[in-house]
Structure 1
């Protein structure tokens, strides 16, 4: 299923760049100082589509003639005051053309080729057999620069392998293992 959720805990307002954004479900207030949990719905098949989401607050309801908004409800404070919360969306503006894509692979060795690779932002384990989802960031303006990205399991000793970027730990049938990422720019094909 493509529609998934992530929870953001914020102090009643903020601006977020959200890949695959669909909507924000009704908020849940978690303390008397205006902190709320926002349930962000996103489509994990559209992680290359980034949306700028701005959560705003106001003492009065937003006017109907202004920018299109979605109401999130009220936030109450310890002193008895409250604020309306709502959000507006806009396409993300990027000076560099950065995007995120998800790659699924086995952690014993995952190789993929990505134009304009910058970094792996997050690793999410899918099962106990060593399958992970890698959220790779790339620059869409650098599509002629192809990177060979390799993610390998280095074993239970973090210091045993040097070089590359440490991605944290994952679980395999043989136990916990550290993940490491290396990338190499692939030379262009001979003319």
Structure 2
């Protein structure tokens, strides 16, 4: 499904990596001298594994659509200078593309081996009283194999050594404290 995000960036030129990028719908200058702008960026949340490099640019004397690949955003004032604004969008290099996978298991310990592990993005109860879904972000082109262990405890929130806090998961009206550890078990080449 498509949705619109507001991104604040430089009017004079900016570059950002945008998962699921579709287009820039509008640009509004917000800075005192016109050096900052808000961009209404449309993304498709069904295509978040497709990352685009979106570049904002300007030209002083020629409309932006005279150049192949440039998509015009209209005119802007930088100080007292009128500029033609545009953007370009290109696929990100494959090393930068991140994907997600959902792993499920028992609250007392989920163990998984994931190549290119980056982070755990979300954790939620699965329905059964002792099961969890864990949303894991990874880079498929990264060959380092990580051993990920996710667990919960109650009522003690104290973290073991090297663990990362994932917050509270409510199960059967009881707060359980979730955490994970990450260990690289094979070196990157």
TM-score above 0.5 = yes
The residue that corresponds to 1:37 in the other structure is 38
The residue that corresponds to 2:23 in the other structure is 23
The residue that corresponds to 1:128 in the other structure is none
Query: How do residues 24-173 of structure 1 correspond to structure 2 at under 5 angstroms?
Result: 24-33=24-33, 34-62=35-63, 64-77=65-78, 79-94=79-94, 97-103=95-101, 109=107, 111=110, 113=112, 115-120=114-119, 122-123=121-122, 134=135, 136-142=137-143, 146-152=145-151, 160-162=158-160, 163-166=162-165, 169=167, 172=170
- Residue correspondences, number: 174
So what's the TM-score if we normalise by structure 1? 0.65
8 Å CA contact 1:115, 1:138 repeated in 2: no
**Gap change, CA 1:182 and 1:58, over 3 Å in 2:** same
Give the greater-gyration-radius structure (CA): 2
Question: Could you tell me how far 1:164 is from its partner in structure 2?
Answer: 2.6
8 Å CA contact 2:58, 2:64 repeated in 1: no
Query: How do residues 169-180 of structure 1 correspond to structure 2 at under 5 angstroms?
Result: 169=167, 172=170, 180=179
Task: Flag structure 2 segments of 5+ consecutive residues without an equivalent.
Answer: 125-131
Task: Flag structure 1 segments of 5+ consecutive residues without an equivalent.
Answer: 126-130
So what's the TM-score if we normalise by structure 2? 0.66
